Amino acid sequence: MTGTWQRLLDDRRAAWGLYAVLAVILLVLPFAADAFLGRAWVRIIDVALLFVLLGLGLNIVVGYAGLLDLGYIAFFAVGAYSYTLLASPQFGLHWSFLVLLPLGAFVAAVFGVLLGAPTLRLRGDYLAIVTLGFGEIIRICLINLNRPVNITNGPQGITLIDPLSIGGFALNKTYTLAGVTFAPVHSYYFVFLACAAVAIFISLRLEDSRIGRAWIAIREDELAAGATGINTRNVKLLAFAMGASFGGVAGGLFASFQGFISPESFSLLDSIMVLCMVVLGGMGNVGGVVLGAVLLTALPEALRYAAPLQKEWLGEVYVDPSDLRMLLFGLALVLMMLLRPAGLWPSRVRRRELVEAAAEAPETTDVAR
């Protein structure tokens, strides 16, 4: 008995030590990236953290509840415009972000319920088509809400959006603290990191909660879940609302970070990208979603170096750099799906399902023969 407790204590100490090392790495990451890779890569890391928020929100809908959503970027847009309209010269309002971020999450959750309510009986491809249409409707509405009353300024977008600020401390300014210079990208990094950490904590708690288990039951077999007493209607609506609220917070952070938004920032391609992050990272696994978001944000940027290498090795640029970058990006995605069909870091349930499927495959082949 004493040996068991000692092993548990040692495992806990090792875990805390690992967390401490990870915390130190995350604290110095923006400064190390700035020093060795340039400030542009710090901005890329900031964007990756925003995609972590989006990926975790979509993972609730797709990974936990099994509801295919191709219009998730619409909630990102709702959160961004909720922040912008109340923190910009558009209406002359300049509310605090402490009010606007929760408000954006709430408004996005309401839109999530509005999307989920009429689609409760839809599954698979039909649900995907409806959600895709919802995302496009939101984008088109944002483009056309500049007449007869100018609300969103149409395709021109809105500029001069207020940054995150508390008192006289604004994140869009450069500060020096204890001899360390904090540029805006550094300050936003720590805010985004804190929000991503909170989102990860909430996702992990949801996964182990009664609601999370209800979502997983619906994903595996909705009829069986309903037969066990789960209110599938309310639970599915809650998944849409919870997932949308993550997107609303990410949208508000994005608007304050960019200082400018337009409807073109919320296209179908962005929804597909977030879905790829969830699928390739590992649906239903929080760590896999985070890994997928980071990799698929950094990979296209890293592939920008393919053009200089092409000129150095071949003496001439034969393929347009942007085309080559997307070609290599697509090839990388195809290889990932072929080599890791369950994602780079699949959940325990998904990993067990793959093992069982592989074990049953020879039996199925023998029967067929």
**pLDDT, tens digit, for every residue of 112-121?**
999 999 988 8
Angstrom distance (rounded) from CA 156 to CA 137: 18
369, part of any domain:
no
326, part of any domain:
yes
Q: Are residues 49 and 24 in the same domain?
A: no
Angstrom distance (rounded) from CA 36 to CA 48: 18
CATH number at residue 60: 1.10.3470
Does the pLDDT value for residue 2 go beyond 60? Answer: no
pLDDT in tens, 204-215: 999 889 999 999
Supply 74's token pair. 């619409």
219, part of any domain:
yes
Q: Are residues 63 and 153 in the same domain?
A: yes
Q: Are residues 83 and 31 in the same domain?
A: no
CA angle 72, 77, 79 (to 5 degrees): 105
Q: Are residues 25 and 108 in the same domain?
A: no
> Domain range spanning residue 201?
37-363
pLDDT in tens, 69-127: 999 999 999 999 999 999 999 999 999 999 999 999 999 999 999 999 998 888 888 99
368, part of any domain:
no
Strand residue runs (E) in the chain: 87-88, 93-94, 165-166, 169-170, 175-177, 180-182
Percent residues over pLDDT 70 in the chain = 91
pLDDT in tens, 284-328: 899 999 999 999 899 888 877 777 777 777 777 777 767 777 777
Q: Are residues 320 and 292 in the same domain?
A: yes
83, part of any domain:
yes
Counted domains in the chain: 2
Coil vs helix vs strand at 261: strand
Q: Are residues 232 and 281 in the same domain?
A: yes
Distance of CA 187 to the CA centre of its chain: 20
Q: Are residues 138 and 162 in the same domain?
A: yes
Q: Are residues 56 and 167 in the same domain?
A: yes
DSSP structural state of residue 319:
S
Give this prediction's pTM: 0.91
- Report the candidate in 55, 163, 159 with the shortest Cα–Cα distance to residue 100: 163
Q: Are residues 6 and 134 in the same domain?
A: no
Angstrom distance (rounded) from CA 137 to CA 67: 19
Q: Are residues 320 and 297 in the same domain?
A: yes
In contact, 215 and 239? CB cutoff 8 Å: yes
Q: Are residues 32 and 65 in the same domain?
A: no
Q: Are residues 54 and 1 in the same domain?
A: no
Q: Which of 330 and 34 is assigned the larger pLDDT? A: 34
